[in-house]
Amino acid sequence: MTKLGRQIEIGPTDNTSNERTPRNRLHLIPDAARASFVPWAPRIQGLDPAEADLTRLAPGRPRAEGDPIKVTGKVMDEFGRPIRNSIIEIWNANKFGRYSHIEDHSGLQLDPNFLGLGRTVSNDQGEYEFWTIRPGAYLARPDINRWRPKHIHFSIRGGSSRLITQMYFDGDEHNDTDPMRILMGDNFHVNIGKEYETPDEDFDSGYQFDIVIGGKNPTFFENI
Amino acid sequence: MTHSNKKINRLIPTNEDTIGPYYPISFCDGDSIDMATTKNGIIFKPEGEQIKVNGCVRDINGNLANGVLLEFWQANAKGVYRTPDNINDPDIDPWFTGYGRYRTMDGNFTLKTIKPGRCGDRAPNITLTIFSDGIMRVVTQLFFENDPANDQDPLLQVVPEDLRERLMIKKTKENEYFIEIIMAGENETPFFDDLLS
């Protein structure tokens, strides 16, 4: 009998999760095949620093509606070693809970000054910084009155690092009913941005969201 | 105890989360699902047999899984992966990255690539990572039906024999192949655990 890997769980009340979550346990990868599962993504060249500022469409344009916030953090491996030069992408809903994505058919209010998507590259210490608008929560399942709590999506890639995750906000009343939050169980706290004050800066507040990439994906990080 | 001691100084990894339905399409602008053609007007091409793999991703009801982000990764025709630790390998193909990424709006895709070579005892294969709304990242590896190296492949050995067929890319005509990925339910594609492994 071969030993098996994780059983991926279905997010409670999430229809898509029910339709797309594998029902069988994952198969463990033998050592001889392990390295072949770690892709090495080519670099993206020439990111514009303004892409890290989501509060405006472009420098000089009016600021989007809502509370401007600063999101900062450090990308690390499990030993706390910085992960440099990785592409960090974020995307979040506007103040009203609406994405600028063409497939968001919620009908919630758009903000013509907010795209809600940005990119940057982690520096030599693994640090990053974004400016965005505090996202709104939105009703995800009107039939059962289930909301998605406020959240910011994150993708980290470049080299072999790949992580898709979300930053949540402490105390959001909808956190506890969120399907993916429920699956995170006791470790949910690591996905919460730690709020801090930003005196003399033009932000409502700052959030520190350190990202630790686990597993064996960071195999090549030291070569970056 | 040894196990927990080893882990004690490690940080808790950030939980993976679903990509959701709204991954910005513009983040895919530089991406390509065509590894067989060299960009920027260069005449050189990667070595090897140019192939087309038509495929689709389906959910538990047999419906196409719209909006999934697919990532492909493979060795070149000589069985060499392009990773930072082998940049001096003479068998690296300068015209082949082995990396492709594609967001499929409707769940169908056509991967243009070259047929990967054998890599040691590894049969020719293509790694596929799927990012989708409703789930965390899942990964699998796809093989070529009837390839003689399949019988000895160490990864296929851990998959029960009756499930291996679900990982087989099938030839439909010269240089053209087909694969159906079923994310859940009947005939579910076997997926692998690259976090615990």
Token representation of residue A223: 């070569």
**Which tens digits make up the pLDDT trace of B108-163?**
999 999 999 999 999 999 999 999 999 999 999 999 999 999 999 999 999 999 99
Q: Identify the weakest region by mean pLDDT among A35-44, A116-125, A184-193, B108-117.
A: A35-44
User: Higher confidence at residue A71 or residue B195?
Assistant: A71
Work out the average pLDDT over A109-127. 96
Dist. CA B189–CA B186, nearest whole Å: 9
Q: Do A216 and B197 touch (CB under 8 A)?
A: yes
Contact assessment for residue B46 and residue B75, using Cβ atoms and an 8 Å cutoff: no
Considering only CB atoms, B12 lies closest to which of A34, A89, A190, namely A190
Query: Which backbone phi and psi does A182 adopt, to 5 degrees?
Result: -60, -40
Closest CA to A89 of A143, A124, A144, A52: A52
Q: For chain A, what is the total number of helices (H) and then of strands (E)?
A: 3, 12
Report how far residue B51's alpha carbon sits from residue A154's, in angstroms, rounded to the nearest whole number.
34
CATH topology for the A49-223 domain: Protocatechuate 3,4-Dioxygenase, subunit A (2.60.130)
Would you kindly state where each structural domain of chain A is located, as residue ranges? 49-223
The CA–CA distances, whole Å, from B144 to A38, A47, B160 equal: 20, 38, 17
Percent of chain A with pLDDT over 70: 94
* Of A123 and A219, more confident: A123
Residue A21 · residue B134 · CB < 8 Å: yes
What is residue A4's DSSP assignment? B
For residue B125, give the chain A residue with the closest CA: A36
* Burial class of residue B102, CB neighbours in 10 A (0-12, 13-18, 19+): middle
pLDDT, tens digit (0-9, with 9 covering 90-100), for A174-211: 999 999 999 999 999 999 999 999 999 999 999 999 99
pLDDT above 50: residue A223: no
Catalytic residues of A, which ones?
Answer: 99, 138, 148, 151, 153
Alpha-carbon Rg for chain A, nearest whole angstrom, is: 19
- A7 interaction partners in chain B (CB closer than 8 Å): none
Give the mutation candidate from B6, B10, B18 for the A interface (greatest A CB count, under 10 A): B18
The answer, yes or no, to whether residue A40 has pLDDT greater than 90, is no
Report which of B105, B154, B187, B101 is spatially closest to residue A162, judged by C-alpha positions. B101
CATH code for the domain defined by B20-182 = 2.60.130.10
Predicted confidence at residue A222, as pLDDT, reads 41
Per-residue pLDDT of B8-33, as tens digits, reads 678 999 999 999 999 999 998 878 89
Mean pLDDT calculated for residue range A115-137: 96
CB contact under 8 A, B155 and A29: yes
pLDDT at A158: 75
pLDDT, residue B7, reads 56
